[in-house]
Amino acid sequence: MKIRRHRHHSVPTLNMASMPDLIFTVLFFFMIVTHMRTETAKVHLEVPEGKELTKAANKRTVTNLYIGTDRDGQTRIQIGEKIVPLEAVGSAILAARNGLNDEEAGLYTINIRADRNTPMGVITDVKQELRKVGALNIRYSATEEGKETKKNTK
């Protein structure tokens, strides 16, 4: 009895018709889920924790003000993408608020994201500068207690 070996092996072809649908579905999913950051913290931040936290309703009327340390260990203030000295905080806030209409200007809020080790004197000085330009709606950022804090360094 002779055993015949088939030397002609055929590999089944894959149906690639649904591949573009799958790729676009995955791409669409990541576009929806991904949060795009509009500004990057240039100072070291270790955000404090809090219990009763709320989210800002309208992000267009919120300006983030970061207070942290740079690589040299000096306390720095960042508004938007710029590092500003304490004396220029008021003018930077006025410039940011000027781009809003009257209704949005009434809702204008400063969101202070300060490092947990920032001296309270620095935060008080920043608040005094904000008071001079009439920026009285102030929020403080924190992470939820029990959740791991995120460290931003650059």
Q: What does the pLDDT profile of the chain (154 residues) look like in tens digits?
A: 666 666 677 777 877 888 888 899 999 888 888 876 666 676 766 666 665 556 656 667 788 888 888 888 888 898 888 888 989 888 888 888 887 777 777 778 888 888 888 888 998 999 999 899 888 888 887 776 665 544 443 3
Given a contact cutoff of 8 angstroms between Cβ atoms, the answer to whether 39 and 80 are in contact is yes
Which alpha helices (DSSP H) does the chain contain, by range?
19-33, 89-97, 102-106, 120-132
Given a contact cutoff of 8 angstroms between Cβ atoms, the answer to whether 52 and 100 are in contact is no
DSSP, res 44: B
Q: What's the pTM?
A: 0.60
CA 44 to chain centroid: 14
Rounded to 10 degrees, the C-alpha dihedral 144/81/67/91 comes to -120
CA 21 to chain centroid: 32
Strand partners, 75: 69
